[in-house]
Amino acid sequence: MDFFNYSAGKLQAENVSLEQVAATYGTPTYVYSRATIERHYNAYANAFTSHPTLICYAVKACSNIAFLNVLARMGSGFDIVSIGELERVLRAGGDPAKVMFSGLGKQAHEMQRALEVGIHCFNVESEAELFRLNGVAGSLGKMAPVSLRVNPDVDAKTHPYISTGLKENKFGIDIKEAVRIYQLADSLPHLDVMGVDCHIGSQLTELRPFLDAFDRLMTLIDELSEVGIRIKHVDLGGGLGVKYRDEVPPEPAEYAALILEKVRGREFSLAFEPGRSIAANAGVMLTQVEFLKCTDHKNFAIIDGAMNDLIRPALYSAWMDIIPVNLSSKGGGEKVYDLVGPVCETGDFLGKERSLNLAAGDLLAVRSAGAYGFTMASNYNSRNRAAEVMVDGDNAYLIRARETIEHQLAGEQLLPE
């Protein structure tokens, strides 16, 4: 459920007209709804009240500091994968003691900064990373809290590019090797073994793979306890899917009920790293029709948003819903359009074969664009990245100004004469 609805034929974010947002801030622009972010976060927080649980929003989904701040104010933790994401969390008022540091290529300077600010835990993905972390912690005279990200070898049944829990994926430690590597971690003087972590993929629309992964982690935890290693938390990663079209993903409450059933009588706490299920349907991308180009073969609507602004359709053939901002267009009736951007690539489209009534100048909203939208944007074709706006009730706030060519060129230099 989100707060993007029509009122008198015009699309609003909460109580704010998106036509007004486009008039004020231009297009393409990402627009987020604060009430939706809060609703989605609460869906997790309220589902797990009966067992100690840390919800760590996955910053990579949408990392604007205003977005992170809304979550920080609600007590959310954060899952990060780089020092850049950590700095964003700190700037947004997030509590470092609720930060999980994931990712398989952590550099020494990133580990150092994370240790200095006192994060909750490092999710470690290889033996080599354990040695590096132990060394960095030792040089600071600190103990590093660690979990191992294990690869439980379950099929998340999602797109191959975003499925991460199979043994052929680059992520995590083979669960069969895990006991030995936990013993290694336990023997290193500057590591404090805290937890077990896994993340099996993204946009999962079934709970079965999560439950299978959880069962495999439980077996591992029992094996670890036999060799004297006590696990304090289990982090099941992110991955719960959202509705883009006709998917019917489970609600956090259904997920919680099944997991809580399994943890009854267990001492460890839980952690989750949801990204998409909090951010995706809390944002839209506004774009404007520049030209209509109708040929014998196809009708194209050339829009001002492109693959550099929103790469999911080009990269994953992802289907994103595209709807008019104003239901009364001056177009001459519905036609089937491909919605394409101005970038010089055939793959530059946001939607194909959509029935829409369009005229040049019309505004469109790409729905479910709050996750992996702006964060995956680039400057390809030297296009300035979009503006970002957050709506809160009756008000819209600019939370990231549209980039300018000066921003793009800062740091570039000519060779000397």
Q: Which long-range contacts (CB under 8 A, 24 or more apart) does 330-337 make?
A: 330/359, 330/362, 331/356, 331/357, 331/358, 331/359, 331/362, 332/357, 332/359, 333/357, 335/294, 335/299, 336/299, 337/292, 337/299, 337/300, 337/301
The nearest distance, CB 220 to ligand LLP, in angstroms, is 18
End-to-end CA separation in angstroms for the chain: 59
The nearest distance, CB 306 to ligand LLP, in angstroms, is 16
76: contact with ligand LLP by CB under 6 A: no
| Residue list 89-148, contact with ligand LLP (CB under 6 A) | 102
SS3 state at 120: coil
Alpha carbon distance 395, 12 (integer Å): 11
Which DSSP string corresponds to 238-306? --B---SSS--PPPHHHHHHHHHHHHTT---EEEE--SHHHHGGGEEEEEEEEEEEE-SS-EEEEES--
Helix axes 34-47 and 65-73, enclosed angle (nearest 10):
40
Which range binds ligand LLP by CB under 6 A, 23-31, 195-203, 212-220, 394-402? 195-203
Site map for ligand LLP, 280-299, x if CB under 6 A? --------------------
The nearest distance, CB 213 to ligand LLP, in angstroms, is 13
Q: Which residue type does 297 have?
A: H
- Show binding-site residues: 239, 273-276, 312, 316, 345, 372
- 14 Cβ neighbours under 8 A, 6+ residues apart: 3, 33, 34, 35, 391, 392, 393, 394
| DSSP β-bridge partners for residue 55 | 272
Binding ligand LLP by CB under 6 A: which of 54, 55, 58, 386? 58
Alpha carbon distance 379, 163 (integer Å): 27
64: contact with ligand LLP by CB under 6 A: no
Which range binds ligand LLP by CB under 6 A, 38-46, 196-204, 251-259, 338-346? 196-204
Binding ligand LLP by CB under 6 A: which of 372, 383, 387, 389? 372
- 241 Cβ neighbours under 8 A, 6+ residues apart: 158, 202, 203, 204, 205, 247, 249, 276, 277
| Residue list 304-333, contact with ligand LLP (CB under 6 A) | 312, 316
255: contact with ligand LLP by CB under 6 A: no
User: What is the size of the binding site for ligand LLP (CB under 6 A)?
Assistant: 21
85: contact with ligand LLP by CB under 6 A: no
199: contact with ligand LLP by CB under 6 A: yes
- Show binding-site residues for pyridoxal 5'-phosphate: 239, 273-276, 372
Which range binds ligand LLP by CB under 6 A, 64-72, 238-246, 398-406, 408-416? 238-246
Cβ closer to ligand LLP: 2 or 14? Answer: 2
The nearest distance, CB 312 to ligand LLP, in angstroms, is 5
277: contact with ligand LLP by CB under 6 A: yes
- Show binding-site residues for substrate: 276, 312, 316, 345, 372
Cβ closer to ligand LLP: 27 or 277? Answer: 277
Which range binds ligand LLP by CB under 6 A, 88-96, 271-279, 351-359, 360-368? 271-279
Binding ligand LLP by CB under 6 A: which of 14, 38, 79, 129? 79
The nearest distance, CB 53 to ligand LLP, in angstroms, is 15
Binding ligand LLP by CB under 6 A: which of 110, 273, 309, 388? 273
Is 344 designated active site?
Answer: yes
Alpha carbon distance 107, 188 (integer Å): 19
What one-character DSSP code corresponds to residue 384? P
274: contact with ligand LLP by CB under 6 A: yes
Contact criterion met (CB below 8 Å) for 99 and 56: yes
Nearest by Cα to 21 from 392, 359, 328, 343:
392
Cis peptide before 313 (omega within 30 of 0): no
What one-character DSSP code corresponds to residue 61? G
Contact criterion met (CB below 8 Å) for 78 and 57: yes
Contact criterion met (CB below 8 Å) for 377 and 37: no
The nearest distance, CB 149 to ligand LLP, in angstroms, is 7
| Catalytic sites, residue numbers | 344
Q: Which residues bind ligand LLP (CB under 6 A)?
A: 58, 61, 79, 102, 162, 199, 202-203, 237-240, 273-277, 312, 316, 371-372
